Structure 1
Amino acid sequence: MLLVYTQKVTPRIIYIFKHICTNMLGIEIKFTSKIEEFVAHDGFKMSYGKQPLGNEFFIQNTDILLEHGFEELEIKVQPWGNTVCFFPVSDNSNLPFDIFAASFYLLTRYEEYLPHVKDEAGRFPVSESLAYKESFLKTPVVDIWAYKFKEVLKEKFPEMVFNTTNFRAETIFAIEHGFVFNNKGIIRSVVGWGNDLVKLHFHRFIDRVKSWMKLKKDPYDVFDDLVRLIKEHSLTTIFMFKVADFTLYDRNINYNRIPYRSNIKYVSDYAKVGLLLGHYSSQTLKTLRVEKFRLENIIHYPLENILNANYDLGIPDHFNTLAELEFENDYSMGYPDDLGFRAGTCSSFLFYDINMEITSPLQIHPYIFNSNVGKKFSSEELKKEIGKIHERVKSVGGTFRTIFKNEDFSEYYNSNRYFSLLKQIHEIE
């Protein structure tokens, strides 16, 4: 057990110390604001303040963990060994920066509370992020900091025992369109058929007719291929299904269609299942509750997982709504249009609401790669970029989490490219 002295124990201090020390490094911690208790303690101890009390392990603090709410901060990023850091402190400290304040800033998405220019879809754009501006977006800095922190602790406390984490890969399949031709109703099917003719998409027209006549499988119905890969290689995956009503923004098939429901049940035998948010469920509690209920009625067990792949994360209100509806795991923390670590980490963490100054029970599982990004790179460039980030995640025993769509593996997209990427990420020979 590590005894931590700080002049004031705040919710922010409790949150970030427990994440780094306990969740990441496996060290049980206890806090005290009593100098006498700290001095009398014979075991491992460290202080977190402006000045050390003696010759104990000491991290000098900055003020961010003692404050309430948020404000514009002047942040100067500087090199630290083979990585970067910010919130520098004096030479008295065992680390050259306040690791807890910097980690808190990134994990809570502090910068997303501040005024910023949104993108065309109303989201926080990657270009507004500190990590993008300072060129550490593709590095899991929080995990690297924790690893270096562990090494410094080992020097001070050789007997201290730490946990070890192993690299893992996890893939999320976002199922927005379960079928491209079938099960869409007569009107939508006839309109699609007409569009194929008008636009001279004769190959698509023929495929549509063959799919209707059951002479060919619907191109987006790739679930057998994905399940086969999952079974053969024991892949860790989650399938996120959309069950929103048909609108201008959500053009999926009706959730009551038997083939769609059958695919959901079929997949749930081999992988976890979750909810892919529709446009209005990302904005309205009532709509989100309805969609949750729909999917639970199909899979017949409580829904724990959710993905918001296309819309503004709505920090903190949307995450608080998810916790209120008893979702346990959110997989939306990433940038749909760029590679990298939105929260600076490849490890899961609890959401912290800066407005309310409380730790949410909602577990955030950040992703690194969304297949939307594939449009920006050639196949070779993308493999190289993913390979470099893959090695960084492996070096800290993190999780390389990715998002693909079922249509990525259809004949209408470059299915070979995405199967190759999937195998690269999961290290399939």
Structure 2
Amino acid sequence: MLIYSEHTSERLKYILDYLLIERLGISYSLTQSQEYFNKGQGPKLNYSVHQTPGIITIVPEGLLFEAQVRKKKPSVTFKEGIPIIFKKPGSHHFAFDIFSAAFYFLSRYEEYQHYDADAHGRFPAKESLAFKNIFLTQPVVDHWIIMFRKELQQVYPGLSFKQEQFNSLPTIDVDSPWCYRHKGIMRNLGGIFRDTFHFQFILIFIRLAILLRIRKDPWFMFGWMKKVTAKNNQQPLLFIHAGKYGKYDKSVSSKNIYFRKFVRNIQKDFPIGLHPSYISADKPEVLKQELNTLNKLANLPITHSRQHYLRVKFPEYYRMLIVAGITDDYSMGFADKPGFRAGTSRTFKWFDLLEDKATNLCIHPFAIMDRTVTTYEHQSVMGAQLIYNELIEHVRKVDGQFVTLWHNESFSNLFEWKGWRTLFENVMKQTANNQ
């Protein structure tokens, strides 16, 4: 496809590569010569204010040709019932600047603008354009790509496109493999004193029964997890915490012989990545240390990660990952609300807005985290199932990838997690990948 634009930029090249090559499977060439464009044969697209009869025209909004970050957020309108931004009357066949709109979401442009951070320094869902306009649970960029493909097919019926299919990827954060075991005498004594002070005698009984090996540790559910996912042709990706103990990091010491054995064994059943600690988000040297620790324990290079507490701040955190040698990150999602933080269910490469360049860091967005439903939404298991059902339906409509975030303790069937094993089994069945 030949594309005409009066101007070019790194932003424009990035979004054309993603929408046309990565998502639609169409090769393209970009020209700033209107004469060359007019003489060109085959499918063409005009990205300018100049009108060309018979050619799809998208009027630029201007975002892709700027260097600064705007202060004001765009307004939202609707096309065919789908939320859109950067509406541009005068565009032939297309009512909005899809290139600028998709770039706004994928680059996380709004996270470079002013916002009120939460207690952990995160960009909360309530600050997002999608949440404020009630479309956070819709992968709008995926919808726009489908709309774009339909327009191209109508004008150029001979074009062939990449066929995307719905698929599912369950991911598991392992903050600690065990609830009680292998955590040392002092931590367990401290837990017993705390439970005694709060009259939680049932917890003392459970703890002692597990420590005496009368009961299995409720968080060590990896064998069960393997059976459930394999039955539905799914391969979970596990993220293992290898950092030090702290206020928000309740991991087992990486020096613990049982933890070391766990890492060696678990990678035989599941692909693994790093779950960087809470404090690592602010300290590059800690991130590197934890990555080196897991590399040594696993005896293989670890290149995938998801940040503990999802503490991602732009652009610092992703720059840290690149320097450390991480190639794929799975932190793109909200802790406080389910939905699509970047407007898409599918993988994309991160664009560093302040450096004005595309990177090779692959971002894998997730749709929902288990703790979002229990801690923030205060939902019952039945309520949680309805939320998962809605998101699955939204992703199926766009032939997207349904990435979910779970924790191994969610399958303990204890306290707020009662019934969550059944929920996990249901979701795995609903999203089973084709054989």
TM-score scaled by structure 2?
Answer: 0.94
- Deviation of 1:423 after TM superposition, in Å, equals 2.7
- Deviation of 1:309 after TM superposition, in Å, equals 4.0
- Deviation of 1:355 after TM superposition, in Å, equals 0.3
The DSSP-based 3-state class of the residue aligned with 1:281 is: helix
- Report matched runs for 1:5-154 at 5 Å: 5-154=4-153
Inter-CA distance 29–424: structure 2 relative to 1 (3 Å threshold):
farther
1:396 to 376, 395, 398: 398
- Deviation of 1:194 after TM superposition, in Å, equals 2.5
Matching residue of 2:162: 163
Inter-CA distance 372–225: structure 2 relative to 1 (3 Å threshold):
same
State the alpha-carbon separation in 2 of the partners of residues 192 and 385 from structure 1.
34
- Write out per-residue CA displacement over residues 139-172 of structure 1, whole angstroms, 9 at most, x where no aligned residue: 0100000001000000010000001111111111
Matching residue of 1:184: 183
Q: Structure 1: where are the runs of 5+ without partners?
A: none
Contact 2:57 2:93 in 1 (8 A): yes
State the alpha-carbon separation in 2 of the partners of residues 149 and 264 from structure 1.
45
Contact 1:329 1:365 in 2 (8 A): yes
Q: Which moved more, 1:162-171 or 1:255-264?
A: 255-264
- Deviation of 1:393 after TM superposition, in Å, equals 0.5
- Write out per-residue CA displacement over residues 46-98 of structure 1, whole angstroms, 9 at most, x where no aligned residue: 11011234432211111000001201235221111121111111234220000
1:381 to 380, 383, 396: 383
- Write out per-residue CA displacement over residues 363-407 of structure 1, whole angstroms, 9 at most, x where no aligned residue: 000011011122222222222222122111011110111111111
Matching residue of 1:365: 364
The DSSP-based 3-state class of the residue aligned with 1:236 is: coil
- Write out per-residue CA displacement over residues 256-302 of structure 1, whole angstroms, 9 at most, x where no aligned residue: 22222222232212221011121221111110000000111111111
Matching residue of 2:282: 283
Say yes or no: does 1:232 pair with 2:231.
Answer: yes
Q: Which amino acid aligns with 1:344?
A: G
The DSSP-based 3-state class of the residue aligned with 2:152 is: helix
Contact 1:320 1:360 in 2 (8 A): no
Q: Structure 2: where are the runs of 5+ without partners?
A: none
Q: Which moved more, 1:154-163 or 1:218-227?
A: 218-227
- Deviation of 1:198 after TM superposition, in Å, equals 3.1
Contact 1:308 1:332 in 2 (8 A): yes
Q: Which amino acid aligns with 2:159?
A: M
The DSSP-based 3-state class of the residue aligned with 1:359 is: strand
The DSSP-based 3-state class of the residue aligned with 1:310 is: helix
State the alpha-carbon separation in 1 of the partners of residues 148 and 105 from structure 2.
17
State the alpha-carbon separation in 1 of the partners of residues 189 and 75 from structure 2.
59
- Deviation of 1:319 after TM superposition, in Å, equals 0.4
Contact 1:231 1:270 in 2 (8 A): no
State the alpha-carbon separation in 1 of the partners of residues 73 and 248 from structure 2.
39
Matching residue of 1:265: 264
Q: CA RMSD in A?
A: 1.6
The DSSP-based 3-state class of the residue aligned with 2:335 is: coil
Contact 1:142 1:344 in 2 (8 A): yes
TM-score scaled by structure 1?
Answer: 0.96
Matching residue of 2:420: 418
